[in-house]
């Protein structure tokens, strides 16, 4: 088998992506500078915040298939104004330094925005995971972990990786296990990475978290009358036509929850190798089963051999949920959906952003929209440090209290609740209930903060600028109390 080992990833796209993030940053700084009195931001401090603090490039050899393969990986630390720094590790052939730095910067802004006390970081390995068996991937991942550990780039109090494109629970479990082998007496070793399986120190609800966060973000948006009006859409998600680009972990969960819980109609799913169209709404569970069994979307009812041009299809909501820069000045003018929510990191270039704004499209930006993942990572990290499952102490006490209350009501009213209703009513909160509650609260509270900022000044052009302004103000204030 011929194994592709690209040596530098897609550098051009990485440069473009980094430039886009920096332009977004500068735009927000421009508006903050107009209101100088309400922040501590000087131009030199803004410049210090914007640039990555450090980026580590590592090459390491792994003996596989009777020869030594050299892999190239990165871990960038964008800002360590809070530690540990946090962010995923991506396995993809297009990984490159600029991309990793852009993604690390986004992590800084994201964590600050949702008040998760981490700095921003990101890592990547230039690899096509599909080219390797699980055993080989495990060996590669363990070697990468050793290299990161040498420089504290995986460490419970310094730098905590998580899943990203091309990685998941399995890779995080290998990383955690390797770290524990290197530091067997470290009581906090499990907290060296998040997104682990529940059986290996993970938390209920982490896998679905980013997709569920998208649903909560849309719920918050639709509850904001003033913002919804700007799209011309009618109230309520029920029946809204949705295009999903990318049915990976994030796209799948967002599509599933929006269709099952909110009644939205997923009319288009765009994937590698084609798309599915069904104006009545695609059955996401069945489609996912089909992909798992056959390895592609081909053969599923509604299959069509079309690609990115379907981003321009008629719909109410467009959800790019795969990679960066899928909407650029090439196609932005033709996008029809009035509302776009960025489930992926950086799917819209800064030029495209301008075109979409000019065409009155509303964009719920990545640094807010997909922050559900890192929010639940934060809960997992706390769980690992405290070494107790959320809800373990209070669940039965809560159930006993609720039972007494129900019994009291029955005694006073001389009426009986049905057994089924009673069972539902007295159910104490499981870890999953608490995680979802914390995530929903984070997404809703944060939306209100961004929206208030946006609507407070008619010159602030969009939600992205408002979100960046909130985020940068907080980072600047942390920096100035650090006394640099
Ligand atoms: N990779 C995810 C992101 O881009 C999760 C990061 C984390 O949980 O640390 O937000």
| Segments making up each domain of the chain, as ranges | 11-200, 231-359, 395-428
Q: Is 122 one of the catalytic residues? A: yes
Per-residue pLDDT tens listing for the chain (484 residues)? 344 444 455 678 899 999 999 999 999 999 998 666 556 788 888 999 999 999 999 999 999 999 999 999 999 999 989 999 999 999 999 999 999 999 999 999 999 999 999 999 999 999 999 999 999 999 999 999 999 999 999 999 999 999 999 999 999 999 999 999 999 999 999 999 999 999 999 999 999 999 999 999 999 999 999 999 999 999 999 999 999 999 999 999 999 999 999 999 999 999 999 999 999 999 999 999 999 999 999 999 999 999 899 999 999 999 999 999 999 999 999 999 999 999 999 999 999 999 999 999 999 999 999 999 999 999 999 999 999 999 999 999 999 999 999 999 999 999 999 999 999 889 999 999 999 999 999 999 999 999 999 999 999 999 999 999 999 999 998 887 776 6
- Which residues, listed in sequence order, are joined to residue 266 by a DSSP beta bridge? 242
Class for the domain spanning 231-359: alpha beta
Among 103, 377, 439, name the best residue to mutate to test ligand 1's pocket (greatest count of ligand atoms within 8 A of Cβ).
377
- Which residues, listed in sequence order, are joined to residue 88 by a DSSP beta bridge? 162
Give the span between the Cα atoms of 136 and 64, in whole angstroms: 7
C-alpha triplet 443, 445, 448: angle, nearest 5°: 105
Closest CA to 156 of 115, 124, 201: 201
Among 123, 373, 379, 380, name the best residue to mutate to test ligand 1's pocket (greatest count of ligand atoms within 8 A of Cβ).
373
CB of 377 within 6 A of ligand 1: the answer is yes
Closest CA to 211 of 169, 161, 246, 263: 246
Give the span between the Cα atoms of 48 and 44, in whole angstroms: 6
Residue 283 C-beta-side C-alpha neighbours within 13 Å: 6
Ligand 1 centroid – CA 343 distance (Å): 12
Ligand 1 centroid – CA 351 distance (Å): 25
CB of 374 within 6 A of ligand 1: the answer is yes
Given the residues 110, 122, 240, 265, select the one marked as catalytic.
122
C-alpha triplet 226, 231, 232: angle, nearest 5°: 95
Ligand 1 centroid – CA 111 distance (Å): 10
Closest CA to 206 of 238, 160, 267: 160
Architecture of the domain spanning 11-200: 3-Layer(aba) Sandwich (3.40)
C-alpha triplet 244, 205, 442: angle, nearest 5°: 80
Query: Which residues lie closer than 8 Å to 425 by C-beta, 6 or more apart?
Result: 402, 406, 417
| Fold: same for 11-200 and 231-359 | yes
Closest CA to 360 of 338, 341, 342: 338
CB 324 within 8 A of CB 350: no
**pLDDT at residue 480, rounded to an integer:** 78
CB of 86 within 6 A of ligand 1: the answer is yes
Look up the pTM and report it. Answer: 0.95
Closest CA to 322 of 166, 102, 447, 170: 166
**pLDDT at residue 479, rounded to an integer:** 86
CB of 164 within 6 A of ligand 1: the answer is yes
Ligand 1 centroid – CA 430 distance (Å): 24
Closest CA to 301 of 319, 273, 281, 315: 281
Query: Which residues lie closer than 8 Å to 269 by C-beta, 6 or more apart?
Result: 244, 247, 251, 255, 275, 276, 282, 284, 287, 297
Among 191, 196, 374, name the best residue to mutate to test ligand 1's pocket (greatest count of ligand atoms within 8 A of Cβ).
374
Atom index in ligand 1 nearest the CA of residue 163 equals: 1
Cα radius of gyration (the chain): 23
Give the span between the Cα atoms of 443 and 220, in whole angstroms: 8
């Amino acid at each position: 088998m011929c194994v592709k080992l690209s040596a530098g990833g897609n550098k051009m796209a990485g440069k473009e992506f980094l430039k886009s993030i920096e332009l977004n940053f500068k735009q927000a700084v421009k508006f903050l500078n107009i209101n100088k009195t309400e922040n501590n931001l000087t131009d030199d401090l803004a410049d210090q915040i914007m640039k990555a603090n450090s980026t580590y490039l590592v090459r390491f050899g792994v003996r596989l298939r009777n020869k030594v393969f050299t892999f190239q990986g990165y871990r960038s630390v964008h800002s360590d104004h809070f530690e540990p720094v946090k962010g995923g590790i991506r396995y993809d052939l297009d990984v490159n330094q600029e991309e990793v730095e852009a993604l690390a910067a986004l992590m800084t802004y994201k964590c600050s925005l949702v008040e998760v006390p981490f700095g921003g970081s990101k890592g990547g390995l230039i690899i096509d995971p599909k080219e390797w068996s699980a055993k080989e991937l495990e060996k590669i991942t363990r070697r990468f972990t050793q290299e990161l550990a040498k420089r504290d780039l995986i460490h419970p109090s310094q730098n905590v990786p998580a899943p990203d494109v091309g990685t998941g629970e399995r890779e995080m479990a290998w990383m955690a296990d390797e770290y524990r082998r290197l530091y067997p007496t470290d009581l906090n070793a499990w907290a060296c990475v998040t997104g682990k399986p529940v059986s290996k120190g993970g938390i209920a609800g982490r896998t679905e978290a980013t997709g569920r966060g998208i649903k909560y973000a849309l719920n918050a948006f639709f509850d904001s009358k003033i913002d919804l009006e700007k799209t011309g859409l009618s109230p309520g998600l029920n029946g809204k036509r949705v295009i999903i680009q990318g049915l990976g972990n994030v796209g799948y969960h967002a599509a599933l929850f929006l269709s099952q819980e909110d009644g939205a109609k997923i009319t288009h799913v765009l994937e590698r190798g084609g798309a599915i169209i069904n104006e009545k709404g695609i059955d996401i569970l069945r489609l996912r089963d089909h992909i798992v069994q056959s390895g592609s979307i081909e053969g599923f009812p509604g299959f069509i051999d079309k690609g990115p041009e379907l981003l321009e299809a008629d719909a109410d909501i467009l959800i790019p949920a795969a990679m960066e820069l899928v909407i650029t000045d090439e196609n932005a003018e033709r996008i029809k959906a009035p509302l776009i929510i960025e489930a992926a990191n950086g799917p819209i270039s800064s030029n495209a952003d301008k075109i979409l704004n000019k065409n009155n499209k509303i964009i719920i930006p990545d640094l807010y929209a997909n922050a559900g993942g890192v929010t639940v990572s934060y809960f997992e990290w706390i769980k690992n440090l405290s070494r107790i499952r959320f809800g373990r102490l209070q669940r039965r006490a809560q159930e006993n209290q609720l039972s007494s209350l129900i019994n009291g009501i029955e005694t006073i009213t001389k009426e009986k609740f049905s057994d089924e209703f009673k069972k539902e009513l007295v159910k104490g909160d499981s870890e999953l209930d608490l995680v979802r509650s914390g995530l929903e609260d984070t997404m809703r509270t944060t939306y209100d903060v961004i929206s208030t900022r946006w609507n407070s000044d008619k010159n602030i052009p969009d939600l992205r600028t408002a979100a960046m302004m909130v985020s940068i103000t907080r980072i600047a204030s942390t920096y100035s109390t650090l006394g640099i």
